[in-house]
Amino acid sequence: MQGRRVLVTGGAGFIGSNLANELAADNDVIVVDDLFLGTEENLVDAVEFHEQSVLDEDLPADVDVLFHLAALSSMKMHEEDPQRGARVNVEGFVNAVEQFREHGGDTIVYATTSSIYGDRTEPSPESMAVAARTGYEASKLSRERYAEYYANYYDELSVAGLRYFSVYQGMAEGAEAHKGEFANIIAQFADELANGRAPEIYGDGSQTRDFTHVDDVVDATIRAAEAELTGIYNVGTGEQYDFETVVEMLNDELGTDIQPEYVENPIPQDVYVHDTMADVSKFTEATGWEPAVSFEEGIERVCEPYT
């Protein structure tokens, strides 16, 4: 993407700042973020930053493309304050889209979630039935339904929702450090091991995730805008690794030998997502995108700053 004027909401956070910085090389990039989980320090100088909430009435929405990543992005955040979760994730999306649309913008890419698939040891296609077991999942499903409305009601809009699968980068470098306890489990485990501490694993460590490097997620997000897609698309790798394997690979890469501590899972089993894996064939067919960072390379990148 080149020569476009774009707005990235949530753009000082983890995925958002990686996206904004990548876009800033060839585009006029504006970021809106309330700094709940981000910091302006994540952004390169070329990015125009506005400390605002997506609920504000005066967003800098006079742009060509809207990348809407702003969200309360975990189950815990929503259970602690369900009203705020709904306002930010649902009303904030509608507010940003309305202001963008009123300025004549026509291309929207927004973040939804793979959590709505629940437990899957087989690849999850976008066509499968999904459910809301938590407030977080309910808010993202609501966002998808509003996106569907906008795409159907306004013919000029392209509206693509991306269900990201377990995005990671690492806490030693990059923007993920600012997520703290909400950082990806790879980032948390690596930081614990590198600092001589045993990482905690819920249950027996057999749970799996489709871990997707943030560089691949950024590439996919930009491609969705370039292709002016409409609909729901998975962004993942189609592979899954269990937590015990993650710890073993991190120990090998860091040169440590620290065993994890197994603790009781505090999350109710009927809402805990034990396994995830993406079917990305729909998105690959639409854009030609494929993940470029293997899991082995991703582990190396996470660990490199510590070694």
Q: Which residues are catalytic?
A: 136
Helix (H, G, I), strand (E, B) or coil at 196: coil
Contact 66, 9 (CB under 8 A): yes
d(CA 289, CA 77): 32
* DSSP single-letter state for residue 89: I
d(CA 185, CA 152): 37
Among all chains, which residue has been given the structure tokens 């800098």? 60
- Provide the pairing of β-strand 241-242 with 208-209: antiparallel
Q: Phi first, then psi: what are they for 222, rounded to 5°?
A: -65, -40
Specify the length of the chain in residues.
Answer: 307
* DSSP single-letter state for residue 174: S
